[in-house]
Amino acid sequence: MADVEIGAMTVLNAVREDIELHTEDGLTLVGEVALPASGRIAATLITLHPLPTHGGFMDSHVYRKAAWRLPALADVAVLRFNTRGTSSPRGTSEGHFEEGVGEAADVRAAVDFAVQRGLPRRWLVGWSFGTELTLMHGSALDVEGAVLLSPPLHRATDADLEAWQHSGKPITALVPELDDFLQPAEAAARFAPLPNLRLIPVEGAKHLWVGEKYVRIVLDLLLDTVLPGHGPLPTEVPAEMIQGATG
């Protein structure tokens, strides 16, 4: 079978499992983990979605496409879930939106799940509101580091940044040139308490990373961060790698 281009709706082969996370304050959160069909897991992404009061959820498009592609293309496991009170086609997580404070327990539950399942080389990946959760609650957790997509820095404080600095864990921020909330020059100033942060401006990009071009840039930079030297990702694959393909 001939190679085919990976498009916006292409789903590649993986082992996909609906999961439930259980928080320390008694909530059940719904999610999915996508694992490489090969059985080899080179790294794990624990994803934290954009603001649920403005349409963010576990299926926000960059994360959905990460789960559709990275297990097959890079042996990377992708864990997605709805934070408290958030709904998606997978279902609704218990609880209600708590402005990023109560969600600390959600982040811990996700990391604990990954640890208990033995998913290796765990990284937090936050997008917009998810970057606030990462910065506020992630530095002391059992992860190797973090990647921030479109950080607005609305809730995270200098103390949160300093906690990451003291942790010694690497952290990378992908900042869109045309972001609605925090553009690269301001981001460089705001992240001053975290001098070891790697800030990557992305020319032409906007806060929501709309367009296949920018999805590919994000996924390539994610892969380069968690598995240096393993990118860029291919843009075409053998047809038999597509979920449901027959040959």
Predicted local confidence at residue 187, as pLDDT: 98
Enclosing H/E stretch for 104: helix 104-116
State mean pLDDT over 36-51: 98
Q: pLDDT category, 180, cuts 50, 70, 90?
A: very high
DSSP string, 218-244: HHHHHHHHHSTT--SPPSEEEGGGBTT
The candidate with the shortest Cα–Cα distance to 84, out of 154, 23, 153, 140, is 23
Predicted local confidence at residue 207, as pLDDT: 98
Predicted local confidence at residue 2, as pLDDT: 80
pLDDT exceeds 80 at position 32: yes
Q: Which residue has the higher pLDDT, 51 or 245?
A: 51
State mean pLDDT over 19-42: 98
State mean pLDDT over 17-31: 98
SS3 185: helix
State mean pLDDT over 46-54: 98
Predicted local confidence at residue 142, as pLDDT: 98
Sorted by where each starts, the structural domains of the chain and their CATH numbers stand as 15-234 (3.40.50.1820)
State mean pLDDT over 184-212: 97
CA distances from residue 184 to 130, 187, 193, 202, 222 in whole angstroms, order as listed? 18, 5, 16, 8, 18
Predicted local confidence at residue 245, as pLDDT: 65
Q: Which residue has the higher pLDDT, 79 or 2?
A: 79
Predicted local confidence at residue 241, as pLDDT: 95
DSSP state of 19: E
Predicted local confidence at residue 247, as pLDDT: 43
Q: What is the mean pLDDT of the chain?
A: 97
Enclosing H/E stretch for 109: helix 104-116
pLDDT exceeds 60 at position 222: yes
Predicted local confidence at residue 231, as pLDDT: 86
- pTM over 0.85? The answer is yes
The maximal CA–CA distance of the chain, rounded, in angstroms, is 55
State mean pLDDT over 129-146: 98
